[in-house]
Amino acid sequence: MQIHELPRRPNRNLDHIPGDYGLPVIGHTYSLLRNSHKMGKHMLDTYGPVFRSSALFQRTVGLVGPDAARFVLLEGEKNFAAEPAWNLIIGGLFQGGLLLKDFGEHRSHRRALQQAFKRPVLEAYCNSLNYYLDEGINSWPVDTHFDLFPRLKGLLLENAIQSFFGEDPDCDTQALSRAFIDMLDATLTLVRKPLPGTKWRRGMAGREVIKSYLKSQIQLRKANPGNDFLSSLCTASDEEGRLTDDEIIDHMIFLIFAAHDTTTSTLSSATRILCQHSHWQTRLRQSFAAVQGEYLSMDDFAALPELDWFFREVLRMHPPVPGITRRTVREVEYGGYTLPANASVFVSIRLMHYLPEHWTNPETFDPERFSPERAEHKRNSFQWLPFGGGAHKCLGLHFAEMQTKIFLFQLLRKFSVALDPKHAPQIRAVPLEMPKNGLHIALKPL
Ligand code: HEM
């Protein structure tokens, strides 16, 4: 079957696979939204690493473990499509994005987008990231408790618009940020029609605002390119993969989507963990003595192994994207079961990061598990998977790494950070891991 022939709704015929569909109509939706990790672990412990379940009005096959991930993302990759699975979640709003393409078309667009993520381009972003993050952090209150979460979210969105779209003194960053927030809000709504007063309608209107801004910028960037993602795509040669103006617009809009909530989640988790394990503030700060000057460059990373272990452990314990969703393109065998064509499949990243057969004391925060002496993540190349793997592996992983490390450097070289004891932090895991009621902290100048 061709992908475009797959019915929109996934195959419901999964009764031959162990598992259960939960309550009538709502299935396991309530348990999923309440505590997705507990629900997944219960299914794994009860039925094993291949199980059927139902949530959010959809039947799905859950697959757990590095071997399952390798099978779906690499070895049996031709049997699994991303577009039909992701389209249900972000189609319409983020149409034309890279995750909404598969196989040959996906390969050629990915090659074109890779221009924007090459080392020299990333190095150029490094300077502006240092500047914007330092400036943003310096604008936050000190010696008083405040909710960091909305400030972090705002800072990262403005920062993404500046890094991705480039310098434009006339750009109304606030208006573009609002348009993006409307689009992000619309991804969470069940009403996916542009009815008056709905979030969907606001989201689609937001898309038009950003589209028309990008349209006005493309000719300017072609004539006078800068050090930004948009310029890289506008100036690509045929060999590198030239995209049409409409394709560039679709990709730029998707890039901000892919970057924004994931990096907000990562920096929120990293800050919360710094507060909960405050000796790591001291340890990282001491390691920063190896850096000359006030900006962290990509060349400095090699001299800061502890920063790397910290970054990896944050993403192991709190992967922003809880798992990878796909649709089978044809009937496929896995683990002794037949997955029918057009079945929805979910590979849980979070469950994998807590499997005791792959990680020592997985519930314990222990960055040194990534040290060369222990290197637990090397036991299986698919057991640490915050950025996915295979054909759709995150294109922005080096950008995300750079941004997180620069944020921690700029924060810790000037401040210590502590939680507000009146607001115990809570986390929601779905659709992406985020603080539930804000992230209340205090910054103390050193
Ligand atoms: C810590 C932050 C991030 C995490 C945890 C993350 C995670 C992921 C994951 C798990 C996927 C694979 C999804 C799948 O296979 O279904 C993915 C894909 C993608 N990510 Fe990220 N991401 C992060 C940051 C970013 C940033 C900053 C950008 C852009 C600058 C970005 C751009 C993309 C793109 C374009 C794809 C689609 C790749 C493709 O389809 O070929 N991501 N990301």
Tokens for 149? 């979460």
CA distances (Å), origin 388, targets 185, 244, 335, 349, 433: 24, 28, 21, 8, 16
pTM score, two decimals? 0.96
Identify residue 68 by its one-letter amino acid code: A
pLDDT for the residue 4? 65
Alpha carbon distance 395, 384 (integer Å): 16
Domain-wise residue ranges, the chain: 3-445
Ligand 1 geometric centre to CA of 234 (Å): 21
Closest-lying ligand 1 atom to the alpha carbon of residue 326: 16
Per-residue pLDDT of the chain (446 residues; tens, 9 = 90+): 566 666 678 999 999 999 999 999 899 988 988 899 999 999 999 999 999 999 988 999 999 999 999 999 998 889 999 999 999 888 889 999 999 999 999 999 999 999 889 888 898 889 889 999 999 999 999 999 999 999 999 999 988 888 888 877 788 888 999 999 999 989 878 778 888 999 999 999 999 999 999 999 999 999 999 888 899 899 887 777 789 999 999 999 999 999 999 999 999 999 999 999 999 999 999 999 999 999 999 999 999 999 999 999 999 999 999 999 999 999 999 999 999 999 999 999 999 999 999 999 999 999 999 999 999 999 999 999 999 999 999 999 999 999 999 999 999 999 999 999 999 999 988 889 999 999 999 999 99
Q: Residues with Cβ < 8 Å from 108, sequence gap 6 or more?
A: 241
pLDDT for the residue 1? 57
Ligand 1 geometric centre to CA of 265 (Å): 13
Question: What class has domain 3-445?
Answer: mainly alpha
Taking alpha carbons only, the member of 406, 421, 433, 396 closest to residue 137 is 406
Query: Whose CA is closest to atom 38 on ligand 1?
Result: 392
Q: Residues with Cβ < 8 Å from 49, sequence gap 6 or more?
A: 63, 64, 65, 68, 335
From the CB of 323, is ligand 1 less than 6 Å away?
A: no
In sequence order, what are the beta bridge partners of 80?
328
Query: Whose CA is closest to atom 36 on ligand 1?
Result: 394
From the CB of 109, is ligand 1 less than 6 Å away?
A: no
Ligand 1 geometric centre to CA of 430 (Å): 17
Query: Whose CA is closest to atom 35 on ligand 1?
Result: 395
pLDDT for the residue 331? 96
Give the pairing of strands 337-339 and 58-63. Answer: unpaired
Closest-lying ligand 1 atom to the alpha carbon of residue 388: 10
DSSP 8-state symbol, 361: S
Ligand 1 geometric centre to CA of 35 (Å): 24
Q: If you search the block for the tokens 């078309």, which residue do you land on? A: 105
pLDDT for the residue 2? 62
From the CB of 82, is ligand 1 less than 6 Å away?
A: yes
Identify residue 59 by its one-letter amino acid code: R
Query: Whose CA is closest to atom 43 on ligand 1?
Result: 394
From the CB of 400, is ligand 1 less than 6 Å away?
A: yes
In sequence order, what are the beta bridge partners of 55?
58
Mutation probe of ligand 1 site: the residue of 125, 180, 262 with most atoms within 8 A of C-beta:
262
Mutation probe of ligand 1 site: the residue of 387, 399, 405 with most atoms within 8 A of C-beta:
387
